[in-house]
Amino acid sequence: MKRKQYSLVFEMFWKSLDSYFPKGSKVEAYREFQKLECNQDDAVWIAGRYNDAVRLKRAVIEGGGWSAPLKHVCRYLKNEDFDLEISEPVTPKHTKDSERRRQYAEFFQSTEADMGESLGDAGGQQISTGTCNIVYFPVLDESGD
């Protein structure tokens, strides 16, 4: 079987990449790497930028947040994502979900206070001899959300 031969610069580049996310196809990455005509200094710089992006995304994930995986290396090279600005990780302390949880908790506490009793108890209005346990709440989600 004839195996693909990679340049020494590309082999060093490939081995220096963080493998927290899948790197994708080595053959495709090599094709894109050749198109960029990288020397060793370029390869070191690109690998550093890739690894910085992996580190930031990993910090978000390990901090309990969500982050999409990094692109495969061939797409990273093809789209020249190494030139993109790398932003600081978003702290997962305040997310849309946590804000929504806070809104629901606040809403249900105010509803219980308005009714004068816990929703888990009688929780309704007296109708003749029985209790109606159906309570209608306005929906917090909006169509533009």
Q: What angle do CA 60, 51, 17 make, to 5 degrees?
A: 130
Condensed to tens digits (0 to 9), the pLDDT of residues 17-74 reads 998 999 999 999 999 999 999 899 999 999 999 999 899 888 888 888 888 888 899 9
pTM over 0.85: no
Condensed to tens digits (0 to 9), the pLDDT of residues 67-94 reads 888 889 999 999 998 888 766 555 555 5
Residue 111: the pLDDT is 63
